[in-house]
């Protein structure tokens, strides 16, 4: 557990800590929306990710990707080193177990927080994973929330039984550390189940005397990667279609069928994955862009597998469209599995997604209740 001097006083600046019941509950998406909504209600708001698990190197410093996202998306003027004081690099855990000291990490987080809080009315603090993540190096989410004197919102994925069970398990950890809980937000609730889930989770949490701050529906576009993200994640080579790299990829169509049948599967934003020698399928995909003037069935991109490039004549035709073609070395199954299993981070340049996060939180989360709790 993190500790500091016994005379440490509670900071005057309000801090709202966003935790989750597990990874990929949409914590960053909700944080983006909260930063937007709360920022409209206070004069000066800040953001902090005290402990980051995924980072990038910026000017020699290791900065969490979410801190970079918030900094760029909302043009925050704070130093990135204060927004992201600790990055869990390779070997960090082992090194800490052998020779680390809790007071060292606590001091680093507190110093960054004090600088960040200057001139702020409210600071949004984003955690990482569930309440106990980081315990191995004494910086669990509940430890950090207690250290900063922050109040907590817990995010959970849509559902009823398991989400409520996991919420109560996480709340127990925060309560043991005497951290105040503002409430919970249920995220990514499927449209066909929204009314039922919304009604039952509110009833269920009311029995536990835990406020439900919001129930947010699942929006597919927030989970769909762009072709640029796929290019980077797959380590592929862009053959053509640079103008289409902002296209979002949705449903995957695997090139294992006749082109006549494949045409029925081509829907908006679908991604074709096929070996480069399937010229027939490539031409079929290309036709969705050249023949359909409103692009309603245009594929978002094509991933060619097995390191096989299409015939030069076929490539010449495709280049007349803006369909990105990415060439990868892996086989079709391996490539599709990698895309399906990957988790794609939101990016500041994806302005439509950033705006959608703000809209969802404004519409489905009780911001006034949060503001009242922070007084």
Of residues 90 and 182, which shows the higher confidence score? 182
Q: What is the CATH number of the domain that holds 291?
A: 3.40.1390.20
- Cβ 175 vs Cβ 216: under 8 Å: no
Cα 165 versus chain centre, distance:
23
- The DSSP H or E segment spanning 125 is strand 122-126
pTM of the model: 0.86
Whether residue 194 sits in one domain with residue 102: yes
In a domain, 6, yes or no: no
Distance, CA of 46 to CA of 306 (rounded, Å): 47
Range of the domain at 142: 14-219+347-373
Whether residue 265 sits in one domain with residue 190: no
76-105 per-position pLDDT tens digit: 999 999 999 999 988 889 989 998 888 899
Whether residue 360 sits in one domain with residue 293: no
The fraction of the chain above a pLDDT of 70, given in percent, is: 94
The fraction of the chain above a pLDDT of 90, given in percent, is: 61
Domain count, the chain: 2
pLDDT of residue 106: 92
How many of the other CB atoms lie within 10 Å of CB of 43? 9
């Amino acid at each position: 557990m993190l500790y500091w001097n016994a005379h440490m006083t509670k900071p005057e600046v309000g801090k709202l800590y966003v935790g989750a019941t597990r990874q990929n509950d949409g914590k960053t998406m909700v944080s983006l929306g909260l930063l937007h909504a709360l920022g409209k209600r206070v004069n000066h708001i800040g953001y902090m990710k005290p402990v980051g698990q995924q980072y990038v190197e910026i000017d020699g410093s290791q900065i969490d990707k979410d801190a970079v996202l918030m900094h760029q998306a909302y043009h925050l003027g704070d130093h990135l080193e204060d927004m992201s004081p600790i990055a869990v690099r390779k070997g960090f855990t082992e090194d800490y177990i052998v020779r680390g000291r809790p007071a060292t990490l606590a001091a680093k987080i507190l110093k960054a927080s004090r600088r960040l809080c200057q001139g702020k009315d409210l600071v949004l603090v984003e955690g990482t994973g569930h309440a106990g993540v980081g315990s191995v190096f004494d910086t669990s989410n509940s430890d950090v929330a207690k250290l900063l004197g922050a109040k907590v919102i817990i995010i959970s994925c849509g559902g009823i039984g398991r989400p409520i069970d996991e919420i109560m398990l996480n709340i127990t950890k925060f309560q043991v550390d005497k951290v105040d809980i503002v409430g919970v937000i249920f995220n990514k609730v499927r449209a066909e189940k929204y009314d039922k889930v919304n009604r039952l989770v509110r009833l269920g949490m009311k029995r536990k005397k835990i406020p439900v701050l919001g129930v947010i529906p699942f929006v597919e576009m927030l989970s769909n990667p762009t072709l640029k993200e796929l290019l980077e994640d797959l380590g592929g080579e862009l053959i053509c279609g640079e103008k289409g790299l902002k296209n979002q990829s949705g449903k995957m169509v695997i090139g294992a069928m006749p082109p006549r049948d494949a045409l029925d599967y081509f829907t908006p934003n679908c991604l074709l994955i096929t070996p480069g020698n399937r010229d027939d399928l490539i031409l079929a995909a290309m036709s969705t862009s050249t023949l359909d003037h409103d692009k309603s069935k245009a594929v978002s991109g094509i991933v060619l597998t097995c390191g096989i490039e299409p015939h030069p004549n076929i490539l010449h035709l495709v280049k007349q469209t803006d369909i990105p073609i990415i060439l990868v070395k892996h086989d079709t199954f391996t490539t599709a599995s990698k895309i399906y299993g990957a988790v794609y981070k939101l990016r500041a340049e994806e302005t439509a997604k950033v705006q959608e996060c703000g809209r969802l939180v404004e519409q489905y989360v009780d911001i006034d209740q949060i503001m009242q709790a922070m007084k």
